[in-house]
Structure 1
């Protein structure tokens, strides 16, 4: 595919429920605050993310209210990852460039669920949704090079490492790291 005219127009449908073999990816609800606080307050979970661990459940509720309000926009894509009735993380489109038919994914998952293929399952389903329903042509993601788990997810869902941004990730602890940058094209799936 070399010509932008060959692309389907974007079809923003918002955050709709996606079911996989083990997961329900759905919109957040305010009653998810207890589950979310568990992972949003965990230093290990948020180590490479931009926010500090939540100190109170009220902080979590404030974030949830903001996320829930954003669902009124069809351009919002932010899923709660529900596993066995518990919300264990989230996956979201964190930036979009509709003129270039591209978006950028970010995610987080509670530590007890690391290395079980759960984030790979969620990310794969969301990538399919964004290609098949929304018609993005390119989906990107990235992580601090020290975040091995996130990098493995990107590889497992078919993303290609496009480069390493040197001294790019300034962390809350004052350290600086390099950033892996991955992408997958809609045409890569065939």
Structure 2
């Protein structure tokens, strides 16, 4: 087993690997139709949430880990799921995503989390470009990405198949050179 990198810490949030103790907290938001409205998954059954937590909890055992699905923790409670992963190791491209419990929306937690994910992606994973996609109707996520310095690259037509229906996505990205605090690659 490799030694995990130290995860970033925001002013209010900390990030850690999921544990089975998180299942109830995570299921509370992954089973909420309003939270999953714009997602490609959900609302989750308890079995689906448990499978997600089990897979995420085992990921820290992987050697040469290039994907991090982490709990966003506030005062000891997992209030969200955040992820950053390498999509192309040669070109050093990656992607990120996030989901938060509805009770915590509108308080800047997603923006704080994205800032920390970018720092982790650029510094620890040594990525040069990080992208994110969202549904064109997801105004909250669009605001988070724009506040975080992402640029809209375009609309991906018929990009996702969700519950049997094709739908578009907006593609955003940010480059290492555009992120404050990013360091040159090793």
The answer, yes or no, to whether TM exceeds 0.5 is yes
2:26 paired residue number: 36
Q: Distance in 1 between matches of 2:99 and 2:86?
A: 16
Pick from 35, 43, 60: which aligns with 1:71? 60
* Cα displacement (A) at 1:81: 0.5
The Cα of 1:130 is off from its aligned counterpart by: 1.0
**Structure 1 CA distance for aligned equivalents of residues 9 and 67 of structure 2:** 18
Change (3 A) 1:155 1:27: same
Trace 1:1-190 onto structure 2 (pairs within 5 A).
16-56=6-46, 58-73=47-62, 74-93=65-84, 96-172=87-163, 175-189=165-179
Q: Assess, with a 3 A threshold, how the Cα gap between structure 1 residues 68 and 15 changes in structure 2: closer, same or farther.
A: farther
Could you tell me whether the CA contact under 8 Å between 2:80 and 2:100 is conserved in 1?
yes
State the SS of the aligned residue for 1:44.
coil
Gaps (5+ residues) in structure 2?
181-186
Residue 124 of structure 2 aligns to a residue whose secondary structure is helix
Question: Structure 1 stretches (4+) deviating beyond 4 angstroms?
Answer: 12-15
Range with greater deviation from structure 2 (163-172 or 142-151): 163-172
* CA positional deviation for 1:101: 0.5
The number of equivalent residue pairs is 177
Q: Is 2:79–2:100's contact at 8 Å kept on the other side of the alignment?
A: yes
Classify 1:144/1:15 alpha carbon distance in 2 versus 1 (closer, same or farther; 3 Å): farther
RMSD of the alignment, in Å? 2.0
Which protein is richer in helix relative to its size?
1
Q: Aligned in 2, Cα 1:146/1:169: closer, same or farther, shift over 3 Å?
A: farther
State TM-score, norm by structure 1. Answer: 0.85
Q: Please report the TM-score for the alignment, with normalisation by the length of structure 2.
A: 0.86
Give the unaligned 5+ runs of structure 1.
1-11
Contact 1:145–1:177, Cα closer than 8 Å, also in 2 = no
